Amino acid sequence: MKKYLHVISIGLQSNLAYRVNYLTRTLFSFIPLFAMLSLWRTIYANHNGSTSGGFSQAEMMFYYLLVAVVDVLTAVNEDDWQIAADIREGNISQFLLKPVDYLWYRFSLFVSGRIAFIAVAALPLAVFIFCFRQYVLAPVSLTAVLVFPVSLVLTALLQFFISYGMAMLAFWLLEISTFIFILFAFEYLASGHLFPLAILPAGLKEALFLTPFPYQMYFPISIYLGKSAGVEMWRGVGIQLMWVVAAYAFARWMWGRGIKKYSAFGG
């Protein structure tokens, strides 16, 4: 455990060297967010404050503010690219000779990256939310206050393990950027990042919930807003945990198969 804490410490120092890049990325991310808030404000104004997908105007506006918060706390930014580069350039060879698990090494770097990003993005994000403070809503219950952070942790784990598993394709393919872009595009739509999944037709929404993607964004937000409560909430947390375990198993399986391929080339 001590060695991975050391990796987090080193990762923090390395990531904070790029704090201007993080700040720039955060500021530019407010442009599409502001556009979506303006769009939905116009939509609700033209429909005299009626609900959409069971979301009131305040809930819809706050939904997008929560999307920004969840994204800052849990998103995988360049970890998959870096993992693929390590494989392609042979940098993983050192981990085959040392008592360091590459998955947990990369996870430690992911944690350090999130801490650094939060440190840089917290203030501008807080200012942006303050500008839309009339739409900020309190959690619906004490249960939501307690379960929401748990769901966020599961969201971060799920996103990391899926990205790690996809990056393992670099053992077989020289360039995996196409697959990463396809995965990102599908996640962006199916996770509820672009819009709440509640506004979709019931059949399509149910089909998406058979995949892990809604549990990367929509589900934790729905807990905070009270859209998932009671038995439905606990069932969702159980399914989210199941997907985390499945993604972890997939990541381990891909590594095991990939190392055999990598070792063959190295021999």
Nearest to 196 by CA among 70, 85, 27: 70
CA 43 to chain centre: 28
pLDDT in tens, the chain (267 residues): 788 888 888 888 887 777 777 788 888 888 888 898 988 888 888 877 567 668 888 899 999 999 999 999 998 888 888 898 888 888 888 888 888 899 999 999 999 989 988 888 889 999 999 999 999 999 989 999 999 999 999 999 999 999 999 999 998 888 888 888 888 888 888 999 988 999 899 899 999 999 999 999 999 999 999 999 899 999 999 999 999 999 999 999 999 999 887 764 443
Q: Are 99 and 181 in contact, with CB atoms under 8 Å apart? A: no
Largest Cα separation within the chain, whole Å, is: 69
